[in-house]
Amino acid sequence: MNIIECAGLAALHRLDPERAHGLAIRALASGLVPLPGTATSSRLATRLAGLSLPNPVGLAAGFDKNAEAAGPLTRAGFGFVEVGAATPRPQPGNPRPRLFRLSEDRGVINRFGFNNDGAAAIAARLARVDRRVPLGINLGANKDSADRAADFSTVLAAIGPHVDFATVNVSSPNTEKLRDLQGKAALSALLSGVIATRDALARPIPVFLKIAPDLTAPELADVAEAAMTAGIDAIIATNTTLARDGLASRHAAEAGGLSGAPLFDRSTRVLARLSALTEGKLPLIGVGGIATAEDARQKILAGASAVQLYSALVYRGLSLAARIARDLDAMLARDGVHNVADLVGQGRDRWL
């Protein structure tokens, strides 16, 4: 991270977190942020659910909820980018304040509640994006919907033609009872509808499922079975947690989902268990607490074919993705690894 980026982060951290984030998105969209371009090499090149990724380091959903800076983000060093979550109709989300920096813990708590401009507006923006790397949409449901399961299909039908993959998000803790859709019967029915909608697209795209880190062992087994039976193309492990173990920040008791460094161990254990349950038959994407190339390597060793970042960008800047990709490439070269895929799951037992 250079001096200019350090100074910019310091200035943003003096502002309310949500206001600071909004300014960062506007700066990106306006072309005011220097972009490093995509980091890649033969060692980093990754195949994920039929997608060709220049590197396995992606951007998690939530950073650019409304696809306002999707084009620039595909040139920011990431191997793939996910925007959203989008819901069928616009909604304001939960009351402010709803975003908290836990600086002492290198974590973030949010309780946004799927605030977004709605599927139509987001689809219109995505239709204009020149995609430099695979770009995906996180699918959500309106808080007041009479049929939340149907909402996911509605958003996919609207936005699917303009993206390369879509993620079913039933694991956000900030929409009441949304996580109930992770139950086996409800999830199976929901995924069946989403897959049918995907198959009806003129250009069918991979569909991923994002799960919570707070599932019990039987619940995780049910989710894995439902995903594989439905024909889901990959699972993202994990979303934010409701746990608050060992936090030092004064914001630790705030309601919402916790992400960042405190989530790393919990999410990696879930990832490893999921890898064991699926026996390598389903690609996994590791999310939660990644801030260094070594963190990314551990997720890959635990079973991830690719990883995603978000919270660490708050503390280390947007250039982090390219730094992690370059450092990971150097690790692979040092260890004589031909391609990052050769590491997937090789250290899984450590996390079981």
In angstroms, the CA 132 to CA 314 distance is: 23
- Measure Cα distances from 235 to 167, 178, 210, 230, 307 in Å: 9, 17, 6, 12, 11
CA-wise closest residue to 241 among 179, 151, 194: 179
The backbone torsions φ and ψ at residue 172, rounded to the nearest 5 degrees and listed phi first, read: -65, 135
Catalytic one among 153, 171, 172, 275? 172
Task: Say if residues 151 and 145 touch (Cβ distance below 8 Å).
Answer: yes
Q: Residue 228 contacts by C-beta under 8 Å, 6 or more apart in sequence?
A: 278, 281, 282
The DSSP-derived string for 275-316 is HHHHTTSS-EEEESS--SHHHHHHHHHHT-SEEEE-HHHHHH
Q: Environment class of residue 331 by beta-carbon count within 10 Å: exposed (0-12), middle (13-18) or buried (19+)?
A: middle
CA-wise closest residue to 58 among 45, 86, 77, 71: 77
Task: Say if residues 307 and 325 touch (Cβ distance below 8 Å).
Answer: no
- Say whether 172 is catalytic: yes
3-state SS, residue 91 = strand
Token couple for 1: 């991270």
- Measure Cα distances from 299 to 1, 16, 243, 335 in Å: 23, 32, 20, 17
Catalytic (active-site) positions: 172
